[in-house]
Amino acid sequence: MMASIGVVLTPGFADWEYALLAGTAKPFYGIDLRFFSPAPGALRSQGGLDVTVADDLAQCQAWQPQAVAIIGGMVWESSAAPELGAFLHALRDQGAAVAGICGGTLALARAGLLDHIAHTSNSADFLRRNAMGYGGAAHYRDSPAAVHAQRVITAPGTAPVSFTCEVFAAAGLAPEPIAQLRAMLAAEHGTRLP
């Protein structure tokens, strides 16, 4: 069975947060990666890239991917942020890992998925200010890299490499290619990423 990842985009999605997932999943690792949106149609990224997303969240849920990544963007800090709680819980009930990077962590926090597990984001204050009902402050980890706990992956917006690696691992990619990807992307900085 081929590994599968759903990527959820919203208006103003952050270009750098999904780029490694999309750019490497299928061509390098044979992962079936598909894009979805709460409101399908034309979207413009934070950087001005115009895309059309044809499939909605119900189609993602019916597809049953092994992991779903909620990509950040400014919409998550506004009243226009979509409510994804039922969708995220349904996916976890089906056995999928759910992941959020940057503003995407707010969707996880609002759904109550961060209340009892280790997690990270842009900052603890970012979650408190922007996720009504967030109850996971005691489990927050001030981490520069993605945190994976109980099929929930969180990352600050500055961690697209570790986020990609954790999502690939959750989708079933073997540890060796993940370690190679991590090492390759860290080589520019002369350091190894956690």
Q: What is the pLDDT of residue 194?
A: 59
- Tell how many helices (H) and how many strands (E) occur in the chain: 7, 8
Sign of the torsion formed by the C-alpha atoms of 8, 18, 109 and 80: negative
pLDDT tens per residue, range 81-123:
999 999 999 999 999 999 999 999 999 999 999 999 999 999 9
Residue 54 within any structural domain of the chain: yes
Are 43 and 53 a contacting pair, CB within 8 Å? yes
pLDDT at residue 35 above 70? Answer: yes
Residue 79 and residue 94: Cα distance in Å, rounded?
29
Residue 159 within any structural domain of the chain: yes
Tokens in use for 25? 């999943």
Residue 56 within any structural domain of the chain: yes
Query: What's the number of domains the chain is made of?
Result: 1
Return phi, psi of residue 36, to 5°.
-140, 160
Residue 133 within any structural domain of the chain: yes
Residue 194 within any structural domain of the chain: no
Q: Which residues contact 78 (CB under 8 A, 6 or more apart)?
A: none
Domain that holds residue 48: 4-189
Residue 81 and residue 130: Cα distance in Å, rounded?
10
What CATH number does residue 89 fall under? 3.40.50.880
pLDDT tens per residue, range 160-174:
999 999 999 999 999
